[in-house]
Amino acid sequence: MLAYCAVRVEDSRGRRYPEAQHPYRNDFQRDRDRVIHARAFRRLEAKTQVFTRRYSDHFRNRLTHTLEVAQISRTIAGALGLNSDLVEALALVHDLGHPPFGHAGEKALDAAMRRYGLLFDHNLHALRIVEDFELRYAGFRGLNLTFEVREGIIKHSRDYSAEEYPELGEYLLDERPPLEAQLIDLTDEIAYNSSDLDDGYEAHLLSLDQIRSGVPIFDRFYGEAEKKYPQAAEKLKFNEALRGMLNCFVTDLISGTQQRVRELKVRSLKDVRHCRDRVASFSAQGERERRQAKDFLYEHLYFSKALMPEKDDAERVISELFSFWMSEPEALPASYQEKAEQEPLARIVCDYIAGMTDNYIYEQYERNIGQRSS
């Protein structure tokens, strides 16, 4: 049974290209499966989340992070009576547009694009991937996903104005996205706030004392673990604290969203769409603790001196390759040269780079720039 404010698959606005119903999978389940089988989804396995494989090959990559977001999202959707199939599809597709090297790569690509009066936005790039780049079907380009999944790709984490983005006009930019899409941005944070603490600790870039003093919610659960398991190894108590923190955030998001639904008197999907603000929310305390964890990670991990050389290297590689293909477009693959006849060259170069894995972009750098410099 779905909640009255959930998206019902039978009410879907459908696909851009009509297709016959599948005999035993609904449309959102088919969207989920199409994302999983997409080439761009497979490439996430070789794209950086925070740490490159120089540190270890058991740290999260963009694919394993995506799977963690999907697991957390399905759990919360089930507790709230939302459409779990839609939520899972949105969770699996939410990072599809990320370039190599994580946020450092996104920053470098955006800077390169702005020199040509354009920009790079991983949400909009994900939409280009599912609408055009994936070539799996004879009847249409792209994955032909339902409207609700395509809408969630661009609206799950931010709002776009119709004035600035007229090309997105079909996606109801003057309305809020459904709760299923609103959840994804928050479950994304739950996933990386916990997993990045874990990986940072394992990489010896974050100490236990640092984390306990900088992340109060973690400290609270670590104290409980010490009392319950006084003889356990530090790492096992660390794991217990991390598990408690994650569970607390999940529980808080469920109860916080339920409270918002009651306060705003949400009775239908239409009510969700017409709310002044987003409905999915942590409680006031949960929001404070979320912010504390996120601020700690930005200060002590994401912008740490230890990671700066790799970030600088990533930005240099992307910037130099972008400039190379802008000056020598004949070096692009033939398919991208053809696309450059219909769209600005900068956009095509950006598309090419954004689709690369960390390993492949280094190969391209060595082939096109490294050998010339040697």
Q: What is the pLDDT of residues 245-275, one digit of tens each?
A: 999 999 999 999 999 999 999 999 999 999 9
Is the per-residue pLDDT at 89 higher than 50?
yes
For the chain, percent of residues with pLDDT exceeding 70: 97
- What span, in angstroms and rounded, lies between the C-alpha atoms of 220 and 212? 8
Mean pLDDT score across all residues of the chain: 94
Q: What was the pLDDT predicted at 300?
A: 95
Is the per-residue pLDDT at 372 higher than 90?
no
Average pLDDT over residues 132-158: 95
Cβ atoms < 10 Å from Cβ of 72: 24
Stated pTM of the model: 0.94
CA 161 to chain centre: 21
- What span, in angstroms and rounded, lies between the C-alpha atoms of 149 and 7? 11
Indicate the CATH number for domain 25-308: 1.10.3210.10
Is the per-residue pLDDT at 56 higher than 90?
no
Give the pLDDT band (50/70/90) at residue 43: very high
Tell me the one-letter amino acid at 235: K
Give the pLDDT band (50/70/90) at residue 238: very high
Write the DSSP string, 319-370: HHHHHHHHH-GGGS-HHHHHHTTTS-HHHHHHHHHHT--HHHHHHHHIIIII
Is the per-residue pLDDT at 320 higher than 90?
yes
The residue extents of the domains of the chain are 25-308
Is the per-residue pLDDT at 374 higher than 50?
no
